Structure 1
Amino acid sequence: MRRKLARFVESDQPVDYMGGYDHALVHCPRCDGMAVRRKERVTCGSCAYTSELRRKPKEVKSEPPQVVMCPECNRYVGTYRSDLRLLRLRCRGCGWVKEPTISDSWGKPKRQKRTQLWLEVDFRGEQLWAVNEEHLNFLESYVAAGVRETSPFNSTIASRLPAWIKSGKNRDDLLRALAKLRTRLPENMPPTR
């Protein structure tokens, strides 16, 4: 006997696009607990951490170009700027070459720009994530549905889901993974509005 699958109607969903969610659940940078990100601010309820994500851009002072003369034959070779690290200079008279210098800062790892989402799990080598509880409810209703009525346009959340989420063969495993994400939510979750 087959089980009866639910029906998913996209027009009944409260949020039509990813930017429609007013907050996201993220890891707190200080205590690694659950924090709420709204617009450009991260706020943690357990350690009272608050941070502004948008910082003023630093002024980049560019050095004036330096005139380079050949040390061998004293001819004009060209101009050289220190911020252009990959500039190679060559004297046409004697063949003297100045190779590009490699800065130590290139080897340092780049800092992660976004805060890590609280509702994130690995699913068969792919990242399955939800922004908040409302987004998790949307994903659960979409995956559990046997019949999915979506708009023909590529402007909604459902139309932009990856194929491995849309595939019916992953339904049971995806529902288990989404249930695992649901367990990450606290039982007495405070209102987020």
Structure 2
Amino acid sequence: MGRNLTKFVEADQPVKYMGGFDYALVHCPRCDDMAIRRQRHLTCGSCAFTDRLRREPKAKPVEPPQIVMCPECNRYVGTYRSDLRLQRLRCRGCGWAKEPAANRPWAAPKRNQWAQLWLETDFRGKSLWALNDQHLSFLEAYVAAGVRDVSPFNRTIASRLPAWIKSGKNREDLLRALAKLRARLPENIPPAR
């Protein structure tokens, strides 16, 4: 090859694990501009929207366990809580049995509580995304490198990348797609804390 390819050394990267990124760039649910998600908070600089993404669950009242007696011979059959699924109950004395109620039909999935990522695009039918500018720089360095020195363990970001990103045949197209993501970043991006 006539090209001079760079070398990617994973040990030199400032963040090696996905949990190491302090923030993510997302779409604001109110104005659809770029917002920042840090831990449990989402903050938009354009419309001053802020929200707790994970609200503390409301405390459910705890019901005491209910004792089930056989309606035929009045013997003890078992105990259960109404919040747990009722299992099959059988009386050992007379043989009376209570079958569990049919399962509820499948419910539609809950709306995703996380806002859509700001740095996300379609690449040949697959989702190419980056959490923030640091993650994007990591991906650009990895894709552009001809020689990749990565950890042999399956715990780092580079080891968890899909095969279509690791493949050298997609290098040029991926670099163009990553450049489009880079163009979406504002010039005055807030510093990482």
Q: Same fold (TM over 0.5)?
A: yes
TM-score (norm 2): 0.80
| Equivalent residue runs for 1:44-83 within 5 Å | 44-83=44-83
Find the counterpart in structure 2 of residue 100 from structure 1: 101
**Cα pair 1:35 1:44 within 8 Å, conserved:** yes
**How far apart, in 2, do the equivalents of 1:51 and 1:26 lie?**
13
CA deviation vs aligned residue, 1:108-143 (integer Å, no higher than 9, x gap): 423424333211223345432111112111111210
Deviation at 1:65, TM superposition (A): 1.4
**How far apart, in 2, do the equivalents of 1:149 and 1:80 lie?**
57
**How far apart, in 1, do the equivalents of 2:12 and 2:79 lie?**
63
Please state whether the residue corresponding to 1:107 is helix, strand or coil.
coil
Moved more, 132-141 or 152-161: 152-161
**How far apart, in 2, do the equivalents of 1:144 and 1:63 lie?**
59
**Cα pair 1:72 1:94 within 8 Å, conserved:** no
Q: 1:65 to 1:146 in 2, by over 3 A?
A: same
Letter in 2 for 1:14: P
CA deviation vs aligned residue, 1:9-44 (integer Å, no higher than 9, x gap): 334433333333222101223333211112322101
| Equivalent residue runs for 1:4-19 within 5 Å | 4-19=4-19
Q: Which runs of 5+ in 2 are unaligned?
A: none
Deviation at 1:60, TM superposition (A): 2.9
**Cα pair 2:53 2:114 within 8 Å, conserved:** no
Please state whether the residue corresponding to 1:100 is helix, strand or coil.
coil
**Cα pair 1:25 1:36 within 8 Å, conserved:** yes
RMSD: 2.8
Moved more, 88-97 or 57-66: 88-97
Q: Percent identity?
A: 69
Deviation at 1:48, TM superposition (A): 0.7
Q: Which runs of 5+ in 1 are unaligned?
A: none
**Cα pair 2:70 2:96 within 8 Å, conserved:** no
Find the counterpart in structure 1 of residue 3 from structure 2: 3
TM-score (norm 1): 0.80
